[in-house]
Amino acid sequence: MSDAPTIGWILLDLVRTIVILLPAMTANTFAPFTGGGTPVDLGRSRKDGRRYLGDGKTWRGFIGGSACATLLGLVLLLALHFLGITSIRHSFWGPYPVNMLLIGMMAVGSLVGDMIGSFIKRALKRPRGTRTPLLDQWDYLIGTVIFIVPFFPWWYGTLIADHHWISMILFFGCAWLAHTIANRIGYWIGVKKEPW
């Protein structure tokens, strides 16, 4: 797109960006509903007694959150196909079968990013549940980028190039708002111990 984008184009592209990144955005939301049991760090601690991740990051939550977010992405892939918006072979997530792999990697990468954030917070001696700006809101997106960009460099053209960067900037605002609302709901219904 060479001409300046219209407001309508930007809004439609923002919706497209949200749909593309929804598996990454929702993995962390699903994890508390499927969590519990054995912690990912197996209860191990550093020499000073601080846990590597803590009891809040469990294998069941990691696997369940990844699986649910991947399933959501695959449902979106099929829905867009049957609605005639895109096809399974040429989707928002790329060509088949790469698109199916990419959806799964986004979900896993999101939760890995969340665990990296927890690891950093523990290393900084932040108690579990303490609010940590930036890490609380963006760790999952950082993990997603780490997982997809090295393996799918052509995504630059999908999400950044040719005026798509405008939608990405707006997306960060929407992602922050969605993250805040989801965490508050999780806190109110009792699946999260903190509202952030």
Highest mean pLDDT among 43-52, 120-129, 185-194: 43-52
- pLDDT at residue number 68: 97
Least confidently predicted of 52-66, 105-119, 182-196: 182-196
Least confidently predicted of 32-36, 40-44, 75-79, 190-194: 190-194
The residue assigned the tokens 């917070």 is: 121
The string of DSSP letters for 33-97 reads HH--SSBTTTT-B-TTS-BSS-TTSBHHHHHHHHHHHHHHHHHHHHHHHHTTSS-SSEETTEETT
The residue assigned the tokens 């393996």 is: 151
Mean pLDDT within 81-91: 93
90-108, pLDDT tens digit by residue? 898 888 998 999 999 999 9
Q: With a cut of 80, say whether residue 134 has pLDDT above it.
A: no
- pLDDT at residue number 136: 67
- pLDDT at residue number 29: 86
Mean pLDDT within 121-133: 73
Task: Sketch the domain layout of the chain as residue ranges.
Answer: 22-152
- pLDDT at residue number 190: 73
